[in-house]
Structure 1
């Protein structure tokens, strides 16, 4: 039997939710190009699409926004539990603990429901913002019913109603985080759900997988690079020095996409309003253009383009978000994909039970 490490190349199931084709640079959500959805639709519209298989009517969108606004309430017992967790507990583990605690009174059932998916999607940003501001010694900012998902997240973190350009950029980023095939965290959630456990337990499994740096690691290396470069004038000499020493320019090229990363293409469009208004973001754009030119000079024909991690770093840095909340922010986008897969798994469930090849010793004597 051929050895397969990490199940790479093994088909674990069928899905109608998303397609990732790295060779062609395709990312499809339910029959729509993800990069087009990210620049033309709001977060709630794309969430509805992934959950229901179609875009909402204006009335359906209004109802979903209302339901999400009502689902943002953070129960007092959950606030108390979060406050009791030591400051040293990582935010991803706080999220996991809070979701597990939600499961008992509110969401523990089989099969999982769309209402549970909406509740989890609405409340994750509230948990993140609540924990972050408590640790900073800042007053908690309650969500506003008239703000959408992305705008509320920024508002709850900063206490200020955000600029439209910032909302547009963050919304596009969160939409592009929603779904990316049978990745480790999505698979983990489907495996847990396949045992007929509940949605919260399955999402806890997904969060646990996302916490690992090989999967949900924040774009901190790109941010470190941008901070080290510091100025536009320093960009070219800094990049040349790295390339002269055979180093790697962070945020360029992708393990899956062999052509342009469609998510980076969408974020280029979604962030146009930020250009010329934010020094941090302008530096990132300058570094991008300089790096692409020099990479072609040093590695002709390799076609190394900006990936989504680069633009994620540029956006999150421009929004002045603490690096501690980068992976939780990514998680607050991916929750829609996780819950879509969980609902799909429940629709035609069969427990995951792969085989393994025993490589240990056998007993000294036969039976």
Structure 2
């Protein structure tokens, strides 16, 4: 039996994550991702995915130091990024720059966690350097006294971010570190299965993430929030959209048949930060009104907010340009990719599915 797109085909075993769409669960190494996002830092959860356990105090200090010392771009790398065409999108720049990274270190098979840390550390710097170069302003060097996500926002703007913005983005990035055998993760594992290096595998993953069917930005949700602009307009705008038969962006998910656990966790974090940002507060009010109306217009469908809904609200709150949404997603997912690349190398078998010929024979 053919399974188009390999849907439903189990191709490997993993200890990294588990998704239960019926129960609305996302598990990282045995831990509920919602719980991790509520009490852990980006660095702690990255350590968990790479090493299989949460770090103790000394292990966390070590990882923080490794990430901080690997944030800096070489002058050669800066030159490469600067010389790329201005019309090149950020994901293509990221793919090219990461590919070039193979020339600045020992990246032979098998992959190592040190290599995974290096790639994770430099991706935010590449994004920020490119953004500021296009704007014609001076690049902002990484700060060693700032945490990973906080430093990313600092490099983008040149200002230490508001606490609420940094914590909201950190929660989002924790919840998008890993999500099973998705297209980009599969791409990374296929490349690693040939015993190619970790840079090549991550480059493959970035190229896959670039596709709009996988790493598409939540721009539709931004448009919805812009249309509403104020809680007093929410019911009118949403009712009109549903009456016209329009899809309500940010609601429903292909995998999760109940609440998306990532959206639940982001909402919880935003509640903790309540009153610190108008866009985050608006998102929570819109969600309540939309779910009530969706039940009336589409009874029994159980359409709840997905991670893109609150991701869009966070991106809007921190004033992140739409072209940086997918690169920011990539800056988190690289941790999951590299965890899978490491796992693939531990018990490697090259991926070699078959195809069915349906052409003519003469």
Q: TM-score, normalised by structure 2?
A: 0.98
Q: How many residues align?
A: 362
Residue of structure 1 in register with 2:216 after alignment: 217
Provide the C-alpha distance between the structure 1 equivalents of 2:143 and 2:120, rounded to a whole number of angstroms: 16
Per-residue CA deviations over 1:105-127 (Å, capped at 9, x if unaligned) read 31421111110000000110000
Residue of structure 2 in register with 1:176 after alignment: 175
Provide the C-alpha distance between the structure 1 equivalents of 2:320 and 2:89, rounded to a whole number of angstroms: 16
Residue of structure 2 in register with 1:35 after alignment: 34
| CA deviation after TM superposition for structure 1 residue 225, in Å | 1.2
Provide the C-alpha distance between the structure 1 equivalents of 2:275 and 2:112, rounded to a whole number of angstroms: 45
SS in 2 for 1:116: helix
1:154 and 2:153 are equivalent in the alignment? yes
SS in 1 for 2:26: strand
Residue of structure 1 in register with 2:343 after alignment: 344
SS in 1 for 2:132: helix
SS in 1 for 2:168: helix
| CA deviation after TM superposition for structure 1 residue 229, in Å | 1.9
Residue of structure 1 in register with 2:318 after alignment: 319
| CA deviation after TM superposition for structure 1 residue 226, in Å | 1.0
Q: CA RMSD in A?
A: 1.0
Judge which range, 102-111 or 65-74, deviates more: 102-111
Residue of structure 2 in register with 1:87 after alignment: 86
| CA deviation after TM superposition for structure 1 residue 155, in Å | 0.5
Per-residue CA deviations over 1:36-78 (Å, capped at 9, x if unaligned) read 0011000000000000000001000001000110010101000
Residue of structure 1 in register with 2:206 after alignment: 207
Residue of structure 2 in register with 1:261 after alignment: 260
Provide the C-alpha distance between the structure 1 equivalents of 2:103 and 2:191, rounded to a whole number of angstroms: 16
SS in 2 for 1:27: strand
Residue of structure 1 in register with 2:184 after alignment: 185
Per-residue CA deviations over 1:156-183 (Å, capped at 9, x if unaligned) read 1111111221111111100111100000
- Counterparts of 1:1-367 in structure 2 under 5 Å? 2-363=1-362
Task: Please tell me whether the aligned partners of residues 35 and 176 of structure 1 are also in contact (alpha carbons under 8 angstroms).
Answer: yes
Task: Please tell me whether the aligned partners of residues 173 and 332 of structure 2 are also in contact (alpha carbons under 8 angstroms).
Answer: yes
| CA deviation after TM superposition for structure 1 residue 311, in Å | 0.3
Task: Please tell me whether the aligned partners of residues 267 and 284 of structure 2 are also in contact (alpha carbons under 8 angstroms).
Answer: no
Provide the C-alpha distance between the structure 2 equivalents of 1:28 and 1:39, rounded to a whole number of angstroms: 14
Provide the C-alpha distance between the structure 2 equivalents of 1:140 and 1:228, rounded to a whole number of angstroms: 34
| CA deviation after TM superposition for structure 1 residue 273, in Å | 4.3
Task: Please tell me whether the aligned partners of residues 107 and 199 of structure 1 are also in contact (alpha carbons under 8 angstroms).
Answer: no
| CA deviation after TM superposition for structure 1 residue 274, in Å | 3.9
Per-residue CA deviations over 1:332-365 (Å, capped at 9, x if unaligned) read 00000000000000001111111110101112xx
Q: Which 5+ residue runs of structure 1 have no aligned equivalent?
A: none
| CA deviation after TM superposition for structure 1 residue 327, in Å | 0.2
Task: Please tell me whether the aligned partners of residues 260 and 306 of structure 2 are also in contact (alpha carbons under 8 angstroms).
Answer: yes
Provide the C-alpha distance between the structure 1 equivalents of 2:323 and 2:302, rounded to a whole number of angstroms: 32
